[in-house]
Structure 1
Amino acid sequence: MSFSIGLSGLQAAAKDLEVTGNNVANSGTIGFKKSRAEFADIYASSFYTCVNKSAVGVRLDAVTQQFSQGNVELTDNTLDLAINGEGFFVLNSEAGQDGKVYTRNGAFQVDRDGYVVNSSGQRLQAYPPTTPNSAVSAFDTGKLEDIQLPLDNMAPKATTEVELQVNLNSDETVITGTTPPGPAFAFPTAPATDVDPTSYNWSTTYQVYDSLGKPRDVTMYFVKTAPDNWAVHVGMRDSAGVMQDVGGGTNTAIFTAAGVFDTATSTPNPIAVSVGPFLTPPDDNGAGALAFSIDMSNSTQYHNSRNNLNDVTQDGYTSGTLSGFDVDADGAIFSRYSNGKSYVLGQVAMANFKNPQGLQQLGDNNWGESYNSGEPIYAAAGDGRLGSIQSCALENSNVDLSQELVNMITAQRNYEANAKTISTSDQMTQTILNIR
């Protein structure tokens, strides 16, 4: 009996050393989770008694994984992703159930087809955007698909909408169309001449984009015709340099007694701009006709204030070359372009389990679903118990080398003590055999 007790102790200590050695060996493995050997004592049972009283050894009960957080180390690769908190990345692989495996190793790269993959070529799963090729951060969370990064350039987009916020000085002089104070407003007909500056109170210029992405200057002229009333003219130069009327003639901007733009009486609002044939050949780039609207609803008119262009936004842009990618804390992936625009490409999908310790180890830092782990719960970073995602960072192994070295010494002492038990039992047996 003593031999079997000592032998079970030797086997347990050897297994403890094996688990500790595996932890030490993987202390530098990204996303590795350490394991712990758990033991149970063995009792001899008697047919005639219901209480076990005689201990006869020890056995390995389980090797459990410890999913505590590892230290996060910063890197210079945007596609290096670390999870702060609970959860796993989802990878597409035929090795797992339904082709899915799970990992904490966020060292990703791009393959030749633009897919985000790990070192084994398994593709990262993400939720696709509901509006492709846009900056709208809305995702179809009912669908998982391989995330593919575009490697081509962004095409230009012609301006279709302009939102203009100006402030006009209510103290400006009313221009009646006679001199003084000034002549009636009129666009010039000769290339070398401009609009008479005495025929308007203030002008401002901003840019829109044509169908080929070329910036075009738009000039707006404001003429005060009565208290709280302004005439608005919109002009653009043709290929010969002549300022042309593209705003459909005279538009009116009317303000309330509080200086707020009156959308009910201002006509039209928004102003419809139609740029005719002068943006087509013989222009220098052959762009097509351009049509856009100008919304002035947020404009104001205040006393003793300067005429000023406070803000202008428009939805057109020039072409752009791909300059990089960004990943935010919610896992949304954006492509950045040289024209300052960005597209939402998808949102990194994450998974969690009721019992992560029940996951099946598959190697290569991957786990698979098992009966003990329960089914995966898919969501985005930050949802429920899921942690956040940090770009340009990797989660290191959660192995504490100091603790593992202490465990190694303890397991070694246990091994030596159990070996001594066997040696002592052998001496006792030899003594009995020597009795004459």
Structure 2
Amino acid sequence: MGFQQGLSGLNASAKNLDVIGHNIANSNTTGFKSSRAEFSAMVNSAMGLAGGGRNGIGVETAAVAQQFNQGGITMTGNSLDVAVNGNGFFTVQMPDGSRAYTRDGAFKLDTQGNIITNGGANVMGVPVDPITGQVMQGAQPGPLRLPTGEPIEAKATRVITAALNLDARAKDAAGDPAATPPIPATPRATYGTSVNVYDSQGVATPVNLYFQKTGTANEWEIFDSLDPAATSLGTVVFDDNGKITGPTATHPYSAVTGPGLYLANVLSLNNPNLSGPIDNQDDPLNNSTVTDAGIFLDLSAVTQFGTKFAVTDLTQSGYTSGALTGISIADDGKIMARYSNGLTRAEGQLTLASFRNTQGLEPVGGNNWIESAASGPATTGVPGSGNFGALRSGALEDSNVDLTAELVNMMTAQRAYQANAQTIKTQDQVLSTIVNLR
């Protein structure tokens, strides 16, 4: 027996205690992944010895292996806290421009509206079309930023969507004084509703819509004014099942054809701000060269049944300017921003990165890893797709350290250290005995 075996055992046990101590120290670190020391035996490799005759010369630390099993998820209520439930890492851009990867989703907003980590790294994602909520075609990942410094621009109304029921029991609005008993005229305001629309500067203008039954079965006229001299905007027609059949109009900014009216004469209002380029919500074909001062009234959800007049939905596509008031993150990583004008829209989408060999990632501190030759290159995807995990907003992933197990491991490592020290002590006593032989 020599000192080499005991000394190597002391070094290995000390390394094991270092790893255990590091795990225990980070038992409350968000997104931390524990490690374990793995050892291998060393043997004498001198030539000429049979396989069974080689002497063991101690132990060495073969690797410190990271354990990427899932940590617990704790709800925090903070809208910018995000936990990954499953596979994947957040991608961040370090202050020096390099990329790193983390499981720590405790994000913040800086004064410029950038989403950052506690270490000041920019959180990466892809831009999203705020109208459609879909990732922009050909979009490249980049730092996510929210418009916190200035209000978002106003958007002119291009579409009004109405969902309402006209009472099939209604009589001709003109009435019939010669009938017995006489049928009085129905005031135009009986079947009316109103909605505010916006011009390109965000100025609101009320638009009134009044439906008046004609003397023809299943036919109603539409007016925008209670003035008896007002001109009808158009006529809507229903079939015997209460479904609208006309007028059949083509949305001037899309390929959609259906029941509706183009209300150019209603909303021109001598206001040039109602003219302007059309965005993707109003023009799926992206025909941005088309401009007009009108608004398309979508009547496809209007019905005529034998129940009371009721408006179930009346929306329009415009809005005034607004400041950021709140943020939430969906399970698929979309960052939904709420504005003071009542608008909620997607401003970006977090992406996740995965690696063929996660244990090959190199830890660099600050809850970050960087890719290496052992890990392979990063594969980027949308949370919840493929083998990527889903996100949990308002939550953080806890450290995956099992504190009880680490304390037991520490006692075992301590015993191993003491035992190896004892072998050195025994070898010292043997040598002392030999030296003292006379």
TM band (smaller chain): 0.7 to 0.9
Q: Could you tell me whether the CA contact under 8 Å between 1:89 and 1:102 is conserved in 2? A: yes
Are 2:228 and 1:225 aligned? no
Structure 1 residue aligned with 2:83: 82
Are 2:181 and 1:198 aligned? no
Greater Cα shift, 42-51 or 333-342: 42-51
Matches within 5 A, 1:111-190: 111-129=110-128, 131=129, 133-134=130-131, 136-140=133-137, 143-151=140-148, 152-175=150-173, 179-180=177-178
Give the aligned residue type for 1:235: S
Q: Could you tell me whether the CA contact under 8 Å between 1:38 and 1:60 is conserved in 2? A: yes
Q: SS of 2:311's equivalent?
A: strand
Greater Cα shift, 335-344 or 82-91: 335-344
Q: SS of 2:71's equivalent?
A: coil
CA distance in 2, matches of 1:288, 1:426: 96
CA distance in 1, matches of 2:233, 2:37: 84
CA shift, 1:201, in A, is: 8.8
Give the aligned residue type for 1:145: G
- Of 232, 242, 249, 2:232 maps to 249
Are 2:303 and 1:335 aligned? no
Residues matched between the structures, number? 405
Give the aligned residue type for 1:270: G
Structure 1 residue aligned with 2:287: none
Distance change (3 Å), C-alpha of 1:225 and 1:4:
same
Q: SS of 2:171's equivalent?
A: coil
Q: SS of 1:143's equivalent?
A: coil
CA distance in 2, matches of 1:277, 1:8: 88
Distance change (3 Å), C-alpha of 1:329 and 1:420:
same
Q: Deviations over 1:117-154 (max 9, x none)?
A: 1122211100111x2x4252334575111101111223
- Of 341, 349, 355, 1:347 maps to 349
Distance change (3 Å), C-alpha of 1:348 and 1:56:
same
- Of 427, 430, 437, 1:428 maps to 430
- Structure 1: unaligned runs, 5 residues or longer: 182-195, 237-241, 281-285
Structure 2 residue aligned with 1:419: 421
Structure 1 residue aligned with 2:286: none
Q: Could you tell me whether the CA contact under 8 Å between 1:215 and 1:318 is conserved in 2? A: no
CA distance in 1, matches of 2:249, 2:66: 70
- Of 352, 372, 375, 1:373 maps to 375
CA distance in 2, matches of 1:108, 1:311: 37
Q: Could you tell me whether the CA contact under 8 Å between 1:81 and 1:391 is conserved in 2? A: yes
Distance change (3 Å), C-alpha of 1:266 and 1:255:
farther
CA distance in 2, matches of 1:243, 1:339: 35
Distance change (3 Å), C-alpha of 1:175 and 1:85:
closer
Q: Could you tell me whether the CA contact under 8 Å between 1:13 and 1:412 is conserved in 2? A: yes
Matches within 5 A, 1:4-19: 4-19=4-19
Q: Deviations over 1:71-128 (max 9, x none)?
A: 2222242212211111111011266xx8211111112111222111112221110011
Query: Normalising by the residue count of structure 1, what TM-score does the alignment of the two structures yield?
Result: 0.84
- Of 234, 237, 243, 2:224 maps to 234
Q: Could you tell me whether the CA contact under 8 Å between 1:252 and 1:266 is conserved in 2? A: no
Provide the alpha-carbon RMSD of the alignment. Answer: 2.8
CA distance in 2, matches of 1:305, 1:370: 69
CA distance in 2, matches of 1:341, 1:4: 72
Q: Deviations over 1:267-292 (max 9, x none)?
A: 99522322467666xxxxx9768631
CA distance in 2, matches of 1:77, 1:176: 60
Q: Could you tell me whether the CA contact under 8 Å between 1:156 and 1:319 is conserved in 2? A: yes
CA distance in 2, matches of 1:23, 1:266: 68
Q: Deviations over 1:230-269 (max 9, x none)?
A: 2222327xxxxx7884xx5352222112222113679995
- Structure 2: unaligned runs, 5 residues or longer: 251-257, 276-292
Q: Could you tell me whether the CA contact under 8 Å between 2:220 and 2:236 is conserved in 1? A: yes
Q: Could you tell me whether the CA contact under 8 Å between 1:204 and 1:309 is conserved in 2? A: no
CA distance in 1, matches of 2:242, 2:209: 23
CA distance in 1, matches of 2:303, 2:140: 46
- Of 191, 198, 223, 1:210 maps to 198
Structure 2 residue aligned with 1:102: 101
Distance change (3 Å), C-alpha of 1:276 and 1:359:
closer
CA distance in 1, matches of 2:249, 2:112: 53
CA distance in 2, matches of 1:420, 1:218: 94
Q: SS of 2:351's equivalent?
A: strand
CA distance in 2, matches of 1:93, 1:36: 28
Q: Could you tell me whether the CA contact under 8 Å between 1:207 and 1:217 is conserved in 2? A: yes
Matches within 5 A, 1:356-371: 356-371=358-373
CA shift, 1:26, in A, is: 1.7
Structure 2 residue aligned with 1:392: 394
CA distance in 1, matches of 2:268, 2:141: 47
Distance change (3 Å), C-alpha of 1:243 and 1:272:
farther
Give the aligned residue type for 1:366: N
CA distance in 1, matches of 2:411, 2:189: 88
CA distance in 1, matches of 2:267, 2:222: 19
Q: Could you tell me whether the CA contact under 8 Å between 1:66 and 1:357 is conserved in 2? A: yes
CA distance in 2, matches of 1:250, 1:265: 14
CA shift, 1:341, in A, is: 0.9
Give the aligned residue type for 1:198: T
Identity over aligned pairs, percent: 36
Greater Cα shift, 331-340 or 259-268: 259-268
Q: Could you tell me whether the CA contact under 8 Å between 2:31 and 2:367 is conserved in 1? A: yes
